[in-house]
Structure 1
């Protein structure tokens, strides 16, 4: 479903809301605190969504829509199949960098936000499958099972975003994505 048309003021407010929530999380905020921090009225917030839960979902959805646009712009600039995979995963890492651990933890605990996150992870896995399939068709990659590679990437992305990879390996999210990109490209190269 496409996003509703927003005024410039509403878009600015949504982007400020996204910046606040991604930096500090959202579980502990009340609507009163949000209006105070964003310097707006509840009525203005309710123009974006009808409840705190819907506001959070809208903010998470907006964040991932903007991230996807940025990632795809970067991928469009890469021509070699292996570069496209690396650019894609590195761009994902860059988009996730500003997300605080608190935001990620809150998102994991709040079903509407988690659903948006999980849908975007599935989209990312599908995109990796597509990039691998294109690379196989172009003869740049071995004939691998692209769906399986996509599932491995999706599972690893979930572990990175939950903080599990950092805990177990000491790698930052960005370093983990770089390692994942290298692993995938080397695994599928002829």
Structure 2
């Protein structure tokens, strides 16, 4: 019984550390931080950080995976109660934008510059595009959307999602991520209206 409690505490502590780490990275980025800096900011030892990952690079990748896993869970929770493909696509894209609201420009720049973290982000964008593709296909099957090529529409969404997350849309239009995702949802669902 004691070991179960310590595992639960250890798992909880690990999750708390990752959450704090993600908060730090989202606010300030990570490229400029050393392991000593991170340990000091999280009020833990470097040996504690090494229980999470074997190096700073692995820690950044693990934190990125943890961030996207949590963001995906939150996005899916927000979409779960929504009925109808149009409303689901809108809720989904707005939730994705909301999940990225906390990400500073520095975090996004660091993410783009660090290949292991960028790969995690790109993988999540591909997963999101497949999710949008399925919602579009469901909408076509339900007669809510005209008969469009769902993979093309999803690829269009994925391209814009990448541009939003890389801050290209913000630079070119002035729209923040949440507003850009709302616009994408409106254009996408309006463009495939039955």
Q: TM-score by structure 2 length? A: 0.94
1:71 lines up with 2:69 in the alignment: no
For 1:36-88, what per-residue CA distance to the aligned partner results, in whole angstroms no more than 9, with x for missing partners?
A: 11110111101111100000001010000000001111111111110000000
Distance 1:173 1:16 in 2: 23
Distance 1:179 1:9 in 2: 39
How far the C-alpha of 1:145 sits from its partner, in A, is 0.3
**What is residue 88 of structure 2 aligned with on the other side?**
84
Distance 2:118 2:185 in 1: 24
Say which of 12, 25, 35 aligns to 2:16. Answer: 12
Equivalence map 1:47-66=2 (5 Å): 47-66=51-70
For 1:91-138, what per-residue CA distance to the aligned partner results, in whole angstroms no more than 9, with x for missing partners?
A: 001001000100000000000000000000001110100000011111
Say which of 168, 178, 181 aligns to 1:164. Answer: 168
Q: TM-score by structure 1 length? A: 0.96
**What is residue 98 of structure 2 aligned with on the other side?**
94
Equivalence map 1:30-179=2 (5 Å): 30-179=34-183
Distance 1:55 1:185 in 2: 38
Distance 2:148 2:85 in 1: 14
How far the C-alpha of 1:172 sits from its partner, in A, is 1.4
Distance 2:79 2:11 in 1: 30
Q: Which runs of 5+ in 1 are unaligned?
A: none
Distance 2:111 2:48 in 1: 24
Secondary structure (helix, strand or coil) at the match of 1:183 reads: helix
Q: Which runs of 5+ in 2 are unaligned?
A: 1-7
How many residue pairs align between the two structures?
A: 186
Moved over 2 A (4+): none
